[in-house]
Amino acid sequence: MSIQSEKIEKLVRRREAAALGGGRKRIDAQHQKGKLTARERLALLLDEGSFEEFDTFVHHRCTNFGMDATHFDGDGVVTGQGTIGGRLVFVYAQDFTVSGGSLSKTMSEKICKVMDMAMKVGAPCIGLNDSGGARIQEGIDSLAGYGEIFERNILSSGVVPQISAIMGPCAGGAVYSPALTDFTLMVKDTSYMFLTGPGVVKSVTGEEVTQEELGGASIHARKSGVAHFAADSEQDAISTIRKLLGFIPQNNLETAPERPTADPVNRADDALDEIIPDSPNKAYDMRKVIESIVDDGEMLEIHQDFAKNIIVGFAHMGGRSVGVVANQPAVLAGVLDINASRKAARFVRFCDAFNIPLVTLVDVPGFLCGTQQEYGAVITNGAKLLYAYGEATVPKVTVTLRKSYGGAHIVMSCKQLRGDINYAWPSASIAVMGAEGAVGVLYGKEIKAESDPERQAAIAEARKAEYEELFCNPYQAAQKGYIEDVIEPRNTRFRIIRALTVLDGKREELPAKKHDNLPL
Ligand code: HXC
């Protein structure tokens, strides 16, 4: 064998050894927990044969606690680039088989390298996280490493899409980088996110709590909203990432890829003419409306289990990627509250940052009132959504289906927040408030002054009818040019797509500033 061939063979053997991460025993332990290894995950995520690994032979530089005797090629993270659906992405996958995926300074350098490359060439960066947090033996070096990653998350925000999947226990610093990214996916039963684990919680507060209760996928997908998706398995999480990328562009200077469809642009749906119940207090499922108007009835819902009174998600309309925001009358009557405002605001800002037009479907009775909401700062949180719509410069098409009352009317992409094309169905009611509330305020004294209950009811009824006639329709708004048109529900798909086509060339600027001061 020539010297050259020997060297090549040595390289191949070294690569094979590196591919074993922390060794066969730890790989088996990972599998026994129902988890894949970092490399297995990347193989599923990326197009077959597209992965090119960087920094395979990097070693940590820690000498504390005898660490200099333990080295694994590549340390605790696999990094590199590949393609998803033929489009370039940069990736890192923490390797739990090497020191529990805990972050060394070297690992942070590897991660920062791919983040920098993603920024340099304008491609998404995807992190598969499975890490015990800061590598304890490295002390402050590990913290510095986290700082380097966080800073890059922040600088990349709004420039290239950043996606995080949580695929194991993620503690301490390991949860803050995902929190700074655009989308966080968790895997049910095998992934956890918390600042400190149950042991520390017990010693500090005395509270006894399991990993699942403290930071499992369903907690973060339903209660805290930290996770945008709770996947049934690692495979499911990875396939969701691949799907998600299909709706978003490579960077903030591009538009999302078009998806050709056989679904006719002018497909009308008679069922929409019948979907609004006769009683304004009766619910219906907004999801049915969305499915009816988007291409092939398909939407990728974000935050599906969190703040269900508002629906947000990606779909295609006429082949074009859109962000859909819709009040959900079937949950809490579609009222806006703290969580719904936070959820929708974040989504609107993502779409605006990445040139994805917004389609807003309105049926909102107002903001939720009461001490719980006020103490939780519904004012500040509601203002986030108001702010997000008001600053968004992407095409904004809005359709009011039924109620659009008060502050919530303004928030939900009204004309004065630079809504571009606003339509309403004939069933729309655009007013300061609903008829009952208005009659109480305007005629409460007059009604109470009447001693005969029957007369009382008759006056209230008459006043209500008068108010409804005047305000509970779309025509007041249409007369004043606050909406462009009143449309037939069956034609909603066609009207929205035509509006989006008109708005394709939209150009709108924001005043020059260092940055805004969104109400946080
Ligand atoms: C060094 C670590 C480690 C860490 C785990 N390991 N966490 N090594 N630093 N932070 C090592 C273990 O020693 C073990 O090594 C291997 O990883 C697997 O860990 P196990 O405990 O055996 O696995 P498991 O039972 O599954 O438990 C996983 C775990 C637990 C829940 C993550 O290891 C754990 O609680 N780790 C500590 C979490 C933590 O408190 N991290 C610091 C957060 S502070 P061997 O050699 O046996 O395979 C932080 C500050 C940053 O991150 C803040 C920035 C804002």
Rounded to the nearest angstrom, the distance between the alpha carbon of 94 and the centre of ligand 1 is 13
407 part of the active site? yes
- The CATH classification number of 3-245 equals 3.90.226.10
Ligand 1: which atom is nearest the Cα of residue 133?
Answer: 52
Q: How confident is the model over 330-372, as pLDDT tens digits?
A: 999 999 999 999 999 999 999 999 999 999 999 999 999 999 9
pLDDT of 286 > 90? The answer is yes
- The CATH classification number of 270-432+473-505 equals 3.90.226.10
Rounded to the nearest angstrom, the distance between the alpha carbon of 502 and the centre of ligand 1 is 54
CA dihedral 430, 434, 440, 442 (to 10 degrees): 0
* Residue nearest (by alpha carbon) to ligand 1 atom 18: 100
Among 64, 96, 97, 99, name the best residue to mutate to test ligand 1's pocket (greatest count of ligand atoms within 8 A of Cβ).
99
Angle at 469 between CA 463 and CA 472, to 5 degrees: 105
pLDDT of 434 > 90? The answer is no
Tell me the C-alpha to C-alpha distance, in Å, between residue 93 and each of 42, 144, 382.
7, 20, 36
Q: Are 316 and 351 in contact (CB under 8 A)?
A: no
Q: What is the pTM of this model?
A: 0.95
Q: Are 282 and 290 in contact (CB under 8 A)?
A: no
Mean pLDDT of 267-273: 98
Rounded to the nearest angstrom, the distance between the alpha carbon of 386 and the centre of ligand 1 is 41
Q: Is 168 in the pocket of ligand 1 (CB under 6 A)?
A: no
Q: Residue 177: CB partners within 8 Å, gap ≥ 6?
A: 127, 129, 146, 149, 150, 153, 164
Mean pLDDT of the chain: 95
Q: Is 107 in the pocket of ligand 1 (CB under 6 A)?
A: no
Average the pLDDT over each of 43-57, 309-323, 448-462, 474-488 and give the range with the smallest value: 448-462
C-alpha–C-alpha distance, residues 343 and 228, integer Å: 9
Q: Are 79 and 113 in contact (CB under 8 A)?
A: yes
517 falls in which pLDDT band (50, 70, 90)?
A: very high
Ligand 1: which atom is nearest the Cα of residue 192?
Answer: 31
Q: Where are the alpha helices (H) located in 362-412, listed in sequence order? A: 371-375, 378-391, 406-411
Q: How confident is the model over 65-112, as pLDDT tens digits?
A: 888 878 888 899 999 999 999 999 999 999 999 999 999 999 999 999
Catalytic residue among 22, 82, 100, 173: 173
Angle at 260 between CA 257 and CA 261, to 5 degrees: 140
Among 136, 204, 209, name the best residue to mutate to test ligand 1's pocket (greatest count of ligand atoms within 8 A of Cβ).
136
Q: Are 328 and 287 in contact (CB under 8 A)?
A: yes
Catalytic residue among 172, 216, 323, 434: 172
Tell me the C-alpha to C-alpha distance, in Å, between residue 74 and each of 30, 55, 115.
18, 6, 17
- pLDDT for position 67: 85
127 part of the active site? no
150 falls in which pLDDT band (50, 70, 90)?
A: very high
Nearest of 473, 469, 405, 412 to residue 437 by alpha carbon = 405
pLDDT of 4 > 90? The answer is yes
Whether the domain at 3-245 and the domain at 270-432+473-505 fall into the same CATH topology: yes
408 part of the active site? yes
Domains in the chain: boundaries: 3-245, 270-432+473-505, 435-471
Mean pLDDT of 413-429: 97
Q: Is 173 in the pocket of ligand 1 (CB under 6 A)?
A: yes
Q: Is 99 in the pocket of ligand 1 (CB under 6 A)?
A: yes
**Strand, helix or coil at 237?**
helix
180 falls in which pLDDT band (50, 70, 90)?
A: very high
Instruction: Output 133 or 93, whichever has higher pLDDT.
Output: 93
Q: Is 101 in the pocket of ligand 1 (CB under 6 A)?
A: no
Q: Is 35 in the pocket of ligand 1 (CB under 6 A)?
A: no
Q: How confident is the model over 288-333, as pLDDT tens digits?
A: 999 999 999 999 999 999 999 999 999 999 999 999 999 999 999 9
- pLDDT for position 197: 87
pLDDT of 60 > 90? The answer is no
231 part of the active site? no
